Amino acid sequence: MKKILYPGSFDPIHNGHLDIARRASKLFDEFVFVVAVHPTKKPLFTKKERIKLIQDSTSHFKNVSVLYTEKLIVDLAKEHGAVALIRGLRHVSDFELEFQMAMMNYHLSPEVTTILMMPEEKHIHLNSNLVKEIARLHGDIEGFVPPPVYKHLKSKFD
């Protein structure tokens, strides 16, 4: 069983994240979203809400699940027998940080391989902060997020 972890804040999950899940889940037996703590980001959604929104948005995938962690991701990967981590690459500006993290994770745990995947072109401009900002100002986010997130964001800012 080949398992891959997809760590991030997912505050909230959007169509760019789902595009990565849709394609990478076909390459592995198990694909796991990992809602992780970020040292500087102050999330809008609680840990419970983020987990539930991922579950509701991915219920049509057979081999996708969700975990929450406050641990080092490579330690979690070892604990769960995951062979790889996946991260998204949108722009060249993502590359520097992702490259650094991949190298550091390699040093910490060489048996866990980092995969960087580019989303479909139409998702390249998407990030959770933009989605939240548009929703806060009552702009149309329907094309950017899955239906459960759309409903939740609308109720949050109405």
**Residue 17 is among the residues annotated as catalytic for this protein:** yes
Q: Quick check: 87 and 9 in contact, CB under 8 A?
A: no
Among residues 32, 77, 112, 126, which is the contact residue for ligand ADP, using CB under 6 A? 126
Query: Which one of 41, 71, 122, 125 is the catalytic residue?
Result: 41
CA atoms within 13 A on the CB side of 156: 18
- Quick check: 28 binds ligand ADP (CB under 6 A)? no
Report the residue number, 1 or 72, with the smaller CB distance to ligand ADP: 72
Q: Quick check: 120 and 90 in contact, CB under 8 A?
A: no
- Residue ranges of alpha helices (H) inside the chain are 15-24, 47-57, 73-79, 92-108, 128-136, 147-157
Query: Which one of 52, 78, 80, 90 is the catalytic residue?
Result: 90
Which residues make up the interface to ligand ADP (CB under 6 A)?
A: 8-10, 16-17, 20, 87-88, 90, 94, 119, 123, 126-129
Catalytic residue set: 17, 41, 90, 128
